[in-house]
């Protein structure tokens, strides 16, 4: 999949990483104004101002968002900061109200992305509208659901699309509110050429202290922007108090991040080019070795057939796994990587040999 306009073409005057900041929820007009004034004072003006108007809360009883009235306060943001605004929509009614109040960019939250009915309802409400939409990852690490939501939007003609990595629900890992899965945005980028992924460290870490580290990791992995919840008085925020930062703290965080460039294939530096050429040669050698290894596997397969042996031999498998993993670890390769690699190679070997048996001795019907 490909073909959509990247964030630099959304008309936000963007050139580089997209920075989205603003409170978890719009609470009062005074709160919105205070956040704007503090951003101005710190000269910490994001590209996009976020504020939740409808809050999908896990349990009822907590603050569920101020509703339509909050959208009228977005004028305050436009007046003070003169920047576009973004909010979360969870159904067609939200879309209608957000469009009525001229919200510039929409996002779909994690609890909505899991539900194709809801995403389709939002997509249908957006048919024929030219507005950028960002899609947060679903609560569970399911790449297909994430891609599916983006596709539903593309199908109705939304061509300004981006994804947001906000981590995945994992009740066992207490280090994170929503555990990051860095291979997921990378898979998404592989599956959908040119798709940008913004990182939301606030909802990943769930507390102020860890935001910098997670944001830096996101940039290291090549993600394209940051969404960080920002409030003038975080401790007294009506939602997500623990994870919001002041505009001054946000400025500090951003100044500490080493924003890396994604070296485009058009003009990588000379040293990078040399290193990549070396890797290309090594990959060729790896492929030659794999070809040779599988030709041995085929010969072993022929032997097993002639001698009426089963394809899978558990003692041999155990020996291969253990000895290679040990060797790999000594060569500074992780145990997890070694196991995954060996499983993958072994599975292919077993399949080839089984296919050999099937083709040489077809079942007589």
Q: Alpha helices of 206-269 — where are they, by DSSP H? A: 211-220, 247-256
Q: Pick from 107, 178, 240, 246 the residue near Mn ion by CB under 5 A.
A: 240
Nearest-angstrom CA–CA distance, 147 and 355: 34
Q: Is 338 helix (H, G, I), strand (E, B) or coil?
A: helix
* Cβ-proximal residues to 327 (8 Å cutoff; 6+ apart), any chain: none
- Least gap, CB of 235 to Mn ion (angstroms): 15
Residue number with CB closer to ligand PEP (219 or 228): 228
232 and 42 in contact (C-beta within 8 Å)?
Answer: no
Window 158-217: residues binding ligand PEP (CB under 6 A): 166, 203
The DSSP bridge partners found for residue 364 are: none
Give yes or no for residue 231 binding ligand PEP (CB under 6 A).
no
CA distances from 22 to 46, 89, 92 (A): 9, 16, 24
CA 364 vs. chain centroid, Å, equals: 51
Closest CA to 253 of 325, 196, 199, 178: 199
- Least gap, CB of 64 to ligand PEP (angstroms): 11
Q: Which does 47 bind (CB under 5 to 8 A by kind): ligand PEP, Mn ion, none?
A: none
Give yes or no for residue 24 binding ligand PEP (CB under 6 A).
yes
- Least gap, CB of 97 to ligand PEP (angstroms): 17
The DSSP bridge partners found for residue 163 are: 135, 197
Q: Pick from 36, 110, 114, 215 the residue near ligand PEP by CB under 6 A.
A: 110
Window 48-107: residues binding ligand PEP (CB under 6 A): 52, 56
- Least gap, CB of 137 to ligand PEP (angstroms): 8
Residue number with CB closer to ligand PEP (163 or 338): 163
Query: Per CB under 5 A, which region of 22-30, 66-74, 207-215, 260-268 contacts Mn ion?
Result: 22-30
Residues near ligand PEP (CB under 6 A): 24, 52, 56, 109-111, 136, 166, 203
């Amino acid at each position: 999949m490909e073909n959509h306009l990247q964030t630099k073409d959304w008309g936000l005057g963007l050139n580089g990483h997209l920075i989205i900041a603003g409170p978890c929820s719009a609470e009062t007009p005074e709160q919105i104004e205070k956040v704007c004034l503090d951003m101005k004072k710190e000269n910490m003006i994001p590209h996009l101002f976020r504020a939740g108007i409808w809050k999908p809360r896990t349990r009822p009883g907590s603050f569920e968002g101020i509703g339509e009235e909050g959208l009228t306060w977005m004028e305050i943001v436009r007046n003070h900061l003169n920047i576009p605004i973004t909010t979360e929509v969870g159904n067609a009614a939200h879309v209608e109200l957000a469009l009525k109040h001229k919200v510039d960019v929409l996002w779909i939250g994690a609890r909505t992305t899991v539900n194709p009915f809801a995403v389709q309802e939002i997509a249908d409400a957006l048919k024929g509208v030219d507005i950028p939409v960002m899609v947060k990852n679903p609560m569970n690490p399911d790449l297909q659901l994430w891609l599916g939501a983006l596709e539903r939007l593309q199908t109705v003609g939304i061509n300004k699309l981006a994804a947001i990595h906000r981590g995945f629900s994992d009740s066992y890992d207490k280090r994170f509110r929503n555990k990051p899965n860095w291979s997921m945005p990378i898979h998404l980028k592989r599956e959908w050429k040119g798709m940008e992924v913004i990182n939301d460290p606030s909802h990943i870490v769930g507390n102020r202290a860890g935001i910098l580290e997670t944001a830096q990791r996101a940039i290291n992995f090549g993600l394209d922007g940051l969404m960080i919840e920002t409030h003038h008085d975080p401790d007294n925020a009506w939602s997500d108090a623990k994870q919001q930062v002041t505009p001054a703290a946000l400025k500090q965080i951003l100044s500490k991040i080493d924003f890396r460039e994604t070296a485009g294939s058009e003009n990588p530096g000379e040293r990078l080019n040399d290193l990549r050429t070396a890797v290309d040669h090594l990959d060729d050698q790896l492929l030659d070795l794999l070809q040779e290894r599988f030709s041995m596997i085929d010969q072993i397969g022929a032997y097993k057939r002639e001698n009426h042996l089963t394809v899978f031999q558990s003692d041999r498998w155990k020996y291969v796994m253990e000895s290679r993993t040990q060797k790999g670890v000594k060569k500074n390769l992780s145990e997890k990587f070694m196991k995954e690699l060996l499983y993958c190679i072994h599975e292919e070997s077993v399949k080839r040999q089984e296919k050999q048996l099937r083709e040489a001795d077809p079942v007589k019907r």
